[in-house]
Chain A
Amino acid sequence: MRRSLILAGLAVLAVPGVALAQAPAAAQQGSWVGPFAVLVAGFAMAFAAGLCALGQGKAVASAVDAMARQPGAAARIQTAMIIGLALIESLAIYVLVVAMILLFVQPIQ
């Protein structure tokens, strides 16, 4: 089961290169980077979004817990929570910027 999954993953990763290798006349020299850039952009955003959601979930859980215990301090806790969420989210935003560079700017052809 696991080995077949790994094989399927390898096959998916290999396909863009194979597909372009079969039509070298149409594609430019060395342009196998493009399809890999699309794949990497999607996977990078998926990993970043998932891990960012884990981190933000922990932060929000602690903040809501603290607000339930100390309703008087809710406003300050909320401010601190929003700043913390922004700092956590900026890491995922960096990945988004890198993904957009890979997709739209395409510095490496």
Chain B
Amino acid sequence: MSAIEHPPIFRLPGIPDHVTYTWLVMAILAVAAFVASRNVALVPRGMQNFFEVVLEQFQQMIDDVIGAEGRRYLPLIATLGLFILVGNLLGLVPGMYGPTTNLNTTAACALVVFFAYHYIGVRKQGPVTYIKHFMGPVPWWLKPMMFVIEVISHLARPLSLTLRLFGNMVGGHILLAIIFFLMGLDGLIGWALSGNPLGAVVGGIGGLVMIAFTVGFLYPLKILVSFLQAFIFVMLTMLYISGAIEEAEHHGGEPHPVHH
């Protein structure tokens, strides 16, 4: 990847870039949370107002998907969502490095979700009941096969969470890097400045078109994708948690939909 992407401007020696910029995201979120909760007022203003709106959105989504008992998982879900969102957006700042464009960061988030929803399910239902629910409402002779299939599908969940976030972010970054390469000093703009009259016409017009395309279309698209991927990660986390705690209620009812 380093073949086409410029390394970030600020690097700590001996520490991988994604760890450095994960710390930066943590610092941003911690400072924002500190400013928001420094003097909490009944009538919120400024930063506190902003964060209350954001957290109310998360709470609304949790109420819709998990139900009222899901509110105790708000810290986990909202932290994951804000971390991924800020990480995605940080990758769009020139000279910065998005921590979510590294497989290690996304795998860490997905593993946290994986262990968290199993822990929540086991604590809610007890280990025996929870494992029984892997077998589904099928005749007894199908249960072993059902168990294996369910275990594989559960193991595929962190994999798909990891690769979806990572692939979306890195794909967009490679696209941006290639567009910048095409329009930069090695590409159209360089051709325009080379003194060749044909190059001045074609390269100049082409460079302007590329700049307009990048600023007007690609960057808004990347910002949209950043929000959308954070939303989808959080939404799937909530679906997994609701799948882990809901099964106790309709015991032996119709089969629940399997989300990957």
* A residues in contact (CB < 8 Å) with B: 79, 82-83, 86-87, 89-90, 93-94, 96-97, 100, 104
Contacts and interface: CB of A to CB of B under 8 A. Distances in A.
B167 A97 contact: yes
A87 B167 contact: no
A84 to B, nearest CB: 10
B1 interface: yes
A47 to B, nearest CB: 16
18 contacts: A79-B64, A83-B232, A83-B235, A83-B239, A86-B236, A87-B260, A89-B164, A89-B168, A90-B160, A90-B163, A90-B164, A93-B163, A93-B168, A93-B171, A96-B170, A100-B1, A100-B170, A100-B174
Shortest Cβ-Cβ A-B pairs, 3 listed: A93-B167, A86-B232, A90-B164
A82 B232 contact: yes
B231 A93 contact: no
Given A97-B163, A104-B3, 9 more contacts: A79-B64, A82-B228, A82-B235, A83-B232, A83-B236, A83-B239, A90-B163, A93-B163, A100-B1
Contacts of B231: 82
Nearest to A45: B171
B166 interface: yes
Contacts of B164: 86, 89-90, 93
B23 to A, nearest CB: 26
Nearest to A93: B167
Interface string B234-252: 0110010000000000000
Interface residues of B, number: 20
Contacts of A96: 167, 170-171
Interface of B: 1, 3, 64, 160, 163-164, 166-168, 170-171, 174, 228, 231-232, 235-236, 239, 259-260
A86 B10 CA distance: 33
A65 B1 CA distance: 41
Nearest to A76: B64
Contacts of B168: 89, 93
Given A79-B235, A83-B235, A86-B232, A104 B167 contact: no
A79 B164 CA distance: 18
Contacts of B239: 83
B75 to A, nearest CB: 22
A97 B167 CA distance: 6
B29 to A, nearest CB: 24
A89 B168 CA distance: 9
Contact of A94 (B163, B228, B236): B163
A89 B170 CA distance: 14
Contacts of B3: 104
Contacts of A100: 1, 170, 174
A104 B64 CA distance: 42
A97 B160 contact: no
Contact of A97 (B64, B166, B259): B166
B173 to A, nearest CB: 11
A82 to B, nearest CB: 7
A94 B167 contact: yes
Interface-central residue, B1, B164, B239, by most chain A CB under 10 Å: B164
